[in-house]
Amino acid sequence: MDENTGCGHGRVVAALDGVRMSRHTTGQVILDGIDWTVRAGEHWALLGPNGAGKTSMLRIVGATTFPTTGTVDVLGHRLGRVDVRELRARIGHVSTSQRVPAELTGHTTVLTGHSGTVQPLWKAYDAEVRERAHALLAELQIKELADRPYGVCSGGQRARVLIARALMADPGLLLLDEPFNALDLPSREDLIDTMRHLADSRPELATVTVTHHLEELSPAITHALLLREGRVLARGAVQDVLTQERMTACFGRPIEVTRHAGRWLARSGGFA
């Protein structure tokens, strides 16, 4: 296992120590012996085969579930000793499975990030909050979606609206659960550009992105963690983790990894 976690100078945003998670009903172990630290300004990719435990890791870091054993600290608070509702309000979460009413406009959808609700709470949005929502839409280069119903937005547009929504709370940690799911190539590239912009414009923001494809990783990604069967196979600086040997071990078949201009490519086949 790679113990390198980069420079190590940033403020700790999330720390998992000896985390184990098992199903209450069957006792099946989902995560086992997880040690992981995320610091401010770090951008992590979380990769592994289906069933490796990636979503469970994200839920624990997002304070939406608790480990069976071990400790979890997020944004300076330990799970089990903090009101998780207040903690969740400081964590941005983006998932293509999020339920957003189709009739809400892009601006209204972003506004709901301020109140942390699915439906808008109009009394909670003063002029400053409304302007902040407009500013985020402009920052992510989707201000034309302000009056467009969410239901008719493309997949890429929805993803960027959801990121703007997550940023309304000015989170210290942004979690993205397969944000590139079902996007076409132009939409994927737009979203990658968005992630690179966030890394540049918010130097203290830490992000964790769950993905299946190296091609979806932004050049801003600094770190990677490989999960296999609920255990950490490797973690650390992205260039040390995303190697042919480690990717092959993680996914159980020969995988060739290349990098060009900060972008990654993985392919499987009968190469030498």
- Predicted confidence (pLDDT) per residue in 155-174, tens digit: 999 999 999 999 999 999 99
| Pair 20, 67: CB distance under 8 Å | yes
CATH class of 1-90+171-272: alpha beta
The Cα–Cα gap between 245 and 77 comes to 37
Task: State the burial class of residue 66 (Cβ atoms within 10 Å of its Cβ: 0-12, 13-18, 19+).
Answer: middle
Task: State the burial class of residue 135 (Cβ atoms within 10 Å of its Cβ: 0-12, 13-18, 19+).
Answer: middle
Rounded average pLDDT over 117-133: 93
Rounded average pLDDT over 222-235: 96
Q: How confident is the model at residue 1 (pLDDT cuts 50, 70, 90)?
A: very low
Percent of the chain with pLDDT over 70: 96
Cβ atoms within 10 Å, residue 186: 10
pTM given for the model: 0.90
Backbone region of residue 35 per phi and psi (left: phi > 0; alpha: psi in -120 to 50; beta: other values): beta
Residue 4 pLDDT: 42
Q: How confident is the model at residue 242 (pLDDT cuts 50, 70, 90)?
A: very high
Percent of the chain with pLDDT over 90: 79
pLDDT, the chain, mean: 91
The Cα–Cα gap between 181 and 35 comes to 28
Q: How confident is the model at residue 3 (pLDDT cuts 50, 70, 90)?
A: very low
| For the chain, domain boundaries | 1-90+171-272, 100-170
- Predicted confidence (pLDDT) per residue in 57-71, tens digit: 999 999 999 999 999
Residue 270 pLDDT: 58
Rounded average pLDDT over 198-225: 94
How big is the CA angle at 34 (ends 9 and 170), to the nearest 5 degrees? 50
pLDDT tops 50 at residue 6: no
Residue 2 pLDDT: 44
